[in-house]
Structure 1
Amino acid sequence: MKWMLRAVLAVAGIWALAWFFAAQYLKGAAEDWFAAQEAQGIVAEHGGLSVQGFATRLDLNVTAPHFAGTGWDWQAPFGQVLMMAWKPWHVLAVVPGGQKLTLGGQVLRLDTSKIEASLHMAPETGFPPREIRVEWPELTVSSDKGWTISTARVFGAAQATGDQALKLWLQADDLTLPAGSDLGGLGPKIAYLRFDARLPLAAPLAWEEEPVFEAYDLRTLDISWGSLEVEGSGMVTPDPMGQADGKIELRIKGWQALPDAAIGLGLIAPGMRGGLMGALEGMAQAGEDPAELVLPLVMKGGQMSLGPIPLGPAPYLP
């Protein structure tokens, strides 16, 4: 039995040595990454790096990470990048609350129990990305300008599919808007928001190349805000100028709130409320269900409109 004990000790010693070298490599790679950001003109600082998790994990701990660039600045108490030692293509990242984000001179504080992200890569040359998930439980964002927005949960995911496309999913629950955001009497709370889309790619995802999207196929858009319930789907493509071109069909319940919401957003003058309400009533009566209004969100020629309501310039697509 002594030979078995020797074999076990030898394997354990080899594994311990391998873990030590992997930990040193990970720490060095992290230092190089911070230096590379600095070389590109981005402030990338930290209060210390360490690797723990012997002998099955590689846990990179970053104390006081700080990144900044033109017009933005982000700081956090600490951050962690976690992976199993034998599966480096599956990475987890955790950042606590107490983060500070400065955008355009406005300081935002992000409070949450933690922000979790996971990255799955293919176990092949180059480790191409396959899926990323991010979750914020009970997130509150407070501004030094006096406003606050909060949500019970935000979840986002992006997944590469086998047919060379990117599938996107976004979900927000119990989103409480800043005070004064009561558009059209809808109230300050959005019960839920769901977004599901498929984006065909010009080439497979790779770290060294920016993704080029050929189209934006909106499979599902669900919003519940007060008396307003919206469901949408449609296809949008970039025009020669890069602006959205296409149509998304929206099915709207509680559509009677739309004129007041449009006034609150400054899209129409208060004197146009009666005419717009009459037009919407006529469209609803002409449909299959007067309680549900079907409106096209049209983006064409650089402009965007929701049925008879002009919304201004169409957005530019990445």
Structure 2
Amino acid sequence: MGRWFGIIMGALLVAILAWSGWWHVGSTAQQDAVEGWLAERRAEGWQAEAEVSVAGYPNRFDMTAEGLRLSDPEAGWAWAAPTFRTYMLSYQPHRVIAEWPGKHRISVPGETVEIEARQLRASARFVPGTRLELTQGILEMHDLEMVSGLGWKAGIANGQLSLRASEEERGRENAYDGVLDIEGLLPPDAWRAALGERLARDLPERVEEAKIVATAVFRRPLDRLAVEAGSLRPETVWLRPSVVTWGPLSIAASGRLEVDEAGVPEGTIDLKVSNWKRVLEAAVAAGAVPGDLAGALKAGLQLMSNLTSDGKGLEAPLRFAGGNVFLGPIPLGEAPRF
């Protein structure tokens, strides 16, 4: 009995030592990979600094980056975070959970925004390998607050962004399905002010629902190299039935756009708008529609509304053509660039 006990204990000790060795090798490799990536960015002219450590023995690789500073002078953005963490099982390193605790600072030319949340957490699955090609990802936000250096504030009570490699666009590479679902969006005060006093008074404090469902085909896979190069422009965007509801205002949309190399969209988005007269009033007050066009636009939309509904709702195509955007036959101006 004693001999067998010794054999079992010896085998157990060997297994523990082997697993400990594997964990040490894996944790060291992860830390070296993160620090190596930061060094590569610095060599390209970025600011890329952080104190990196890995814990989680025996079953996880828990990476913590303290005092993270990332900025790309060429692209003009910067990200500063007190702490950034990732978690992965040591036997499934292609599945990652990430957390952003504390107050983060994101800067773009002319503006800096501080972001803090009760929970800001993501999970992702990648194709095994160093490129980190995304196959599925979910970002969750709870009680998120944004404060801009320009004086505005905004927030989200609950939100989720999910992304996965698409099964719909068969035969086309680099297609991804995405859903953005937001509840309790607190818009900046400037949004309400831009809507005009009468309309702003009738709207609740928060946008009740904003749900955007889309499939996008990109020019390259969503991976580490695409992020580093800043080449995330889509070539096709298929907007599934999506809706935004804010008190008496509601907009539903669906359609498809093709985007050229310069980011100019071509295609049609079908809109369904409730209380469209109030939406037009808000657009004029916000300056999105020139005041001298408001009368003609209202008459044209009234005709379209009478043809498609009871006169209160509106169904109309939003067309993108020749670098411009049209609501039905009515020109609205230059199309936004992707």
Residues in 1 aligned to 2:327 and 2:179: alpha-carbon distance in whole angstroms: 24
CA shift digits 1:154-213 (9 cap, x unpaired): 321221124342112212221111224222515353211111111235666665565674
| 1:117 corresponding residue in structure 2 | 122
| 2:266 corresponding residue in structure 1 | 245
| 1:268 corresponding residue in structure 2 | 289
Residues in 2 aligned to 1:67 and 1:124: alpha-carbon distance in whole angstroms: 23
TM superposition score normalised by structure 1: 0.90
SS of 1:136's equivalent in the other structure is strand
SS of 2:40's equivalent in the other structure is helix
Which residue identity does 1:280 align to in structure 2? L
Structure 1 stretch displaced more, 183-192 or 129-138: 183-192
Matched, 1:69 2:86: no
Runs of 4+ with >6 A deviation: none
CA shift digits 1:257-279 (9 cap, x unpaired): 12212212213344544443333
Which residue identity does 1:195 align to in structure 2? I
**C-alpha deviation, 1:246, in angstroms:** 0.5
Structure 1 stretch displaced more, 163-172 or 58-67: 163-172
| 1:175 corresponding residue in structure 2 | 185
Match among 125, 148, 156 for residue 151 of structure 1: 156
User: In the alignment, is the contact (CA less than 8 A) between 1:97 and 1:114 conserved in 2?
Assistant: no
| 1:194 corresponding residue in structure 2 | 211
SS of 2:191's equivalent in the other structure is coil
CA shift digits 1:21-57 (9 cap, x unpaired): 11111111111011011111110112x2211100000
| 1:312 corresponding residue in structure 2 | 333
SS of 1:114's equivalent in the other structure is strand
- Go from structure 1 to structure 2 and tell me whether the alpha carbon gap of 1:249 and 1:139 turns closer, same or farther (over 3 Å shift): same
SS of 1:145's equivalent in the other structure is coil
Matched, 1:9 2:30: no
Residues in 2 aligned to 1:77 and 1:33: alpha-carbon distance in whole angstroms: 19
SS of 1:41's equivalent in the other structure is coil
Question: Could you tell me the percent identity over the aligned residues?
Answer: 27
- Go from structure 1 to structure 2 and tell me whether the alpha carbon gap of 1:80 and 1:240 turns closer, same or farther (over 3 Å shift): closer
Matched, 1:20 2:24: yes
Q: Structure 1: state its 5+ residue gaps.
A: none
**C-alpha deviation, 1:237, in angstroms:** 0.7
Q: Structure 2: state its 5+ residue gaps.
A: none
Residues in 2 aligned to 1:269 and 1:127: alpha-carbon distance in whole angstroms: 46
Which residue identity does 1:57 align to in structure 2? R
CA shift digits 1:61-81 (9 cap, x unpaired): 111111123333321111111
Match among 91, 98, 103 for residue 96 of structure 2: 91
Residues in 2 aligned to 1:145 and 1:19: alpha-carbon distance in whole angstroms: 47
Residues in 2 aligned to 1:160 and 1:299: alpha-carbon distance in whole angstroms: 27
